[in-house]
Amino acid sequence: MKTWNHNMQIIPAIDLIDGKCVRLTEGDYSQKTIYSENPVEVAKKFETAGVKRLHLVDLDGAKAGKVMNGKVLEAIANQTKLSIDFGGGIKTKEAVQQIFNSGAAFVSIGSIAVKNQALFLEWVAEFGAAKILLGADVRNEKIAVAGWFETTNIDVLDFIQTYYKEGIRQIFCTDISKDGKLQGIATELYQKILQHFPDLYLIASGGVSSLADVQDAKNIGCSGIIIGKALYENKIQIETIL
């Protein structure tokens, strides 16, 4: 079973477009809400509330296929002590190195792990499995890639197994159908994953709408939960959860 200290981590998400803090619904760029012009201030508020970790997503990067909001990462890393995972548009070893140089504790990787296994495993070998957060974006239990524009035929459990045996233990899993809708988390999916991989450091993502969702994630054994829209829409107060 898990060797991790099982206080479930609360991980706020900051999604970036044009250097601003936004949220999308179901990954749709046309359904965008801007919550703040200043993501660094947002990150500082989270830190003041007691948050230790941050999920930073470069949506411009995910679309462009290259890191676009590296400066925001650098600013947040310089002005807070948050442990940041950064993802979106990471396609090269140089980009991974740049992200670590800019102050991220982890890189979150999704599409490359699906589309170029050899390259991804090179990164795992070079930077270490402990510094990589594997993203499993799921639609009907199949992996989706490229900012969720493409759904593959790869089953989520097979996908996790491939990298589990390579030492990857930290995974965040988003059920796309729930993302940004505030309708609850994918409890059954997470239960299924944890039944197969009981010592996985599984981070729930997508659909968090209430304290009950956070409690559900903890009850089924998730090690962390990423919360976005529910915080920005004041459905959940970060201080209350912590």
Give the residue-averaged pLDDT of 124-138: 96
Q: Is the pTM of this model over 0.75?
A: yes
| Catalytic hit among 15, 85, 175, 213 | 15
> What pLDDT, on a 0 to 100 scale, did the predictor assign at position 181?
67
55-73 pLDDT, tens digit each:
999 999 988 989 999 999 9
Give the residue-averaged pLDDT of 80-90: 96
> What pLDDT, on a 0 to 100 scale, did the predictor assign at position 31?
84
Kindly list the domain boundaries of the chain, sorted by start residue.
9-241
Give the residue-averaged pLDDT of 118-139: 96
Q: Is the pLDDT of residue 1 over 60?
A: no
> What pLDDT, on a 0 to 100 scale, did the predictor assign at position 179?
67
For residue 216, indicate whether it is catalytic. no
> What pLDDT, on a 0 to 100 scale, did the predictor assign at position 148?
59
Q: Is 167 left (phi over 0), alpha (psi -120 to 50) or beta?
A: left
Judge: domain 9-241, CATH 3.40.50.2300: no
> What pLDDT, on a 0 to 100 scale, did the predictor assign at position 77?
98
Q: Is the pLDDT of residue 184 over 60?
A: yes
Q: Is 203 left (phi over 0), alpha (psi -120 to 50) or beta?
A: beta
| Catalytic hit among 137, 175, 179, 213 | 137
- In the structure, what pLDDT confidence band is assigned to residue 228 with cuts at 50, 70 and 90? very high
C-alpha to C-alpha distance for 236 and 185, rounded to whole angstroms:
14
22-50 pLDDT, tens digit each:
988 767 888 889 999 999 999 999 999 99
For residue 15, indicate whether it is catalytic. yes
With contact defined as beta carbons under 8 Å apart, do 100 and 63 qualify? no
With contact defined as beta carbons under 8 Å apart, do 35 and 72 qualify? no
